[in-house]
Structure 1
Amino acid sequence: MTFNEGMQIDPGRASSGGGPGMGGKLAVGGGAGGLILLVITLLLGGDPGSLMGDLTGSSAEQQVGSGGTAGTPEHCKTGADANKYVDCRIVLTAQSVDAVWTEELPRQTGKRYVQPNLVLFSGAVNTGCGNATSDVGPFYCPADQTTYFDTSFFQELTDRFGASSGPLAQEYVVAHEIGHHIQNQLGDIGRAQRDPRGPESGAVRTELQADCYAGLWAHYADKKNAPGSNQPFLKPLSDTDIRDALSAANAVGDDRIQRSAGRGVNPESWTHGSSEQRQKWFLTGYRTGSVQACDTYTATDLDNPAGLR
């Protein structure tokens, strides 16, 4: 799924470095793979504090790449740059996701969409949810309403977890993390903390819904014109694009992660859902374009979303 080359990247959409140190606790794991190593630690019974650092909000030294300047990276100007550079792709994907939700959230729920902040970082970053290192991958912090992305994660997703390196595999991750922001706006994200583990848990339902919201974005992304333009952000979606996204969803299922770590599959420790579930819920959003179809919290069978019947 490639961008139309003439799309303009907003120079103010992203920043690099750390978000405000607001304190508070990490409310939700990253999704498509966000906080993958944290997930592995939890699945294997380890101490997540060793990865997230101080979650109490005390001061932490920021270690960010390339000087930690504010604003979208200077080399990110157009859709052609987004097709070439991962950091530019993250920013323009966020703009595409913003455009879809700006229209669809009020139309389908009556709520006005407020775009989340977007931070690109390398090494470590201080957030409203604590100090995070690159090991945790992309994640969303509800405390400062910010999505955080270390671009090196996408190579890790391919090399270590076997996901496709195709653009929609990466764009899916961005759409998933902003999906957590939608949950925050709709008042659902806290369900993950109240019921944090197990095959039917609130945490799993929260992650599967964010997968569905990523699919919902893909449903509209190649159809809705970008603001001020007569064409969409993205060129028409192909079957290969969908396979790329499903590859990423498959790569970060709890069952696959447990097998990769050399342990038996233990659904009682799941926090994100199985590979098959993650793929199915992405497809539900993609095929229906419906927020209601993404209601994982009332679903009686997470293995069989209504959108796939």
Structure 2
Amino acid sequence: MQRNASTLYPILLVHGLFGFDQIGSFGLFHDIKQALRTCGARVFIPHLSVTHSNEARGDQLLAQIERVLEGTGAQKVNLIGYSQGALAARYAAAVAPQVVASVTSVSGPNQGSELADFLHRALIPGHLAEQTAEEVATLFADFLSLLSGSPKLPQNAVAALNAITTEEVCAFNRKYPQGLPKTWGGKGRELVNGVRYYSWSGTLQGNIGDEGINPLDPLNTMCRAFSRYFNTEAEQNDGMVGRFSSHLGTVIRSDYPLDHLDVINQLSGRVRRGIDPVELYVRHAERLRDVGL
């Protein structure tokens, strides 16, 4: 039976830190973009700085939203932001709600990331370690942009790291509170200023065998190693973002058996038991279509 995900408004998949659209045959949103298009959606992936602040990336996103509107004749767009991309999407919707129909946060650090807090403490501002890390991260960001054929955009690795710490996200949230829960671990308002807000995310499971993961998956191993730096949300995180930190608007689910990279269908996301990351996006596009978006 043919699925129908033909949303009224185009969908923009907004990447996060060190994100891109395509490098050769490898896409960051592996199979997701094509699956949505096959089901009738108009899908675009905007080019944003690989590393930069939420506001800088949000302004870049706004400029590309305007291009999509001009090219398609649509009045609004649906934004699906992955990881830091959720914060850029939130910024765009807060600043220009008239051109955004919905914001969906996928594993977004909407209350900050405890992993980012640890890295921020480890890199003492002004010291050699921070300078070296910034230089390496900037070179890597430029390299990714070159490989993906993206337009050259400004990079700022330190600003990107700071932007997802709990302290900086708290300041960001004071300026752009739309869709945020009033209580820790709760849900936020779905409809704010004409924009609908949704979120979903995953958590690392205790028994790796129960997840159906390929044990040799280096990305899951990395997420499990990062998970050790969580305190507030120990055992309730995906390796990079805490479960309750990800909540925004209507929380579809925040404990899918998916790590931070599974949610964009990388490596082990394709061999999970009982969960198909691509299906989550198709189902959500159908959800948006059903409410007239």
Q: Do both proteins adopt the same fold according to a TM-score greater than 0.5, normalized to the shorter chain? A: no
TM-score range, shorter-chain basis? under 0.3
Between Structure 1 and Structure 2, the one with more strand by share is 2
**Normalising by structure 2, what TM-score?**
0.26
**Normalising by structure 1, what TM-score?**
0.25
